Amino acid sequence: MTAATLFGLCAAVLIGVGLFGLIVNPHPLRKILAFNVIGSGVFLLFGAIARRGAAAGMGGDPVPQALLITGIVVAFSATALAVALLLRMFDATGSVTLANDTPARTGTETGDA
């Protein structure tokens, strides 16, 4: 097994673990963390691809590395935005649940919504 394959498999495991967390954890902060775990998996995969695609005489393909930096910045901004929203939501409602998505505005009058 080459190093690139090993890293690729690790990436697959990270993505799987993150997806599991994103689906089963009801807490939004854990979902945000799970998102970051999946993101790490994708970035690791991209790194492995860069290593595998290295041209003769070079340590790695430079294009994925440039894209990776951008991807990390995007993931960072997404995390910051999500955490900011979560904090605002906690300030406004005192709870952090995502589940109650049918508040009073959808027909509670008949009680079947």
Partner 1 sequence: MLTTPGGWLLLVAVLAPFVGVLAGLALGGRNAQRVAALSLPVGLAVAGGIGWTLLHSGGTMVYLLGGWAPPLGIALRADGLSAVMLLAVAVVICGIGVYALADFGSPPGTPEKRAPLVFWLLLLAVWGSLNLVFVSGDLFTLYVALELLTFSAVPLVCLDGRGETLRAALRYLLFALAGSLLYLLGAVLLYGGYGTLDIALLAGRIQPEPIAWAAAALMTVGLLAKTALFPLHIWLPPAHAGAPAAASAVLSALVVKGSWFLVVRLWFDVMPGVVTLPSAQLLAGMGAAAIVVGSIVALRQERLKLLVAYSTIAQIGYLFLMFPLAFDASGSTLLHGGALTGGLLQAVSHATAKAGMFMAAGLIYAALGHDRIADLGGVARALPVTVFAFAIAGLALMGIVPSGAYLAKKLLLESADSSGQWWWTIVLQGGAAFTAGYVVLVLASALRRPTAAVPLVKRVSRLSEFAALALAMSSLLLAFAALGPLPGHLISNPLLPKELGPTLLVIMGGTLLALGLSRRPLLGGTANVGRMRRAIVAAGTSFEQADAFLRRWPSASLALLLSAALLGGLLLARGPQ
Chain residues binding partner 1 by CB under 8 A are: 15, 19, 22-24, 26, 28, 31-32, 35, 38-39, 42, 45-46, 49, 52-53, 63-64, 67, 70-71, 74, 77-78, 81-82, 85-86, 88-89, 92-93, 98-103, 105-107, 109-110, 112-113
Least separation, in Å, of the C-beta of 34 and partner 1?
9
Least separation, in Å, of the C-beta of 56 and partner 1?
14
Task: In whole angstroms, give the CA distance from residue 56 to residue 44.
Answer: 22
Residue 79: CB atoms within 10 A of its CB come to 15
**CB-based contacts of 93, cutoff 8 Å, min separation 6:** none
Least separation, in Å, of the C-beta of 30 and partner 1?
11
Task: In whole angstroms, give the CA distance from residue 97 to residue 46.
Answer: 34
Least separation, in Å, of the C-beta of 58 and partner 1?
14
- Do residues 70 and 23 make contact, with C-beta atoms less than 8 angstroms apart? no
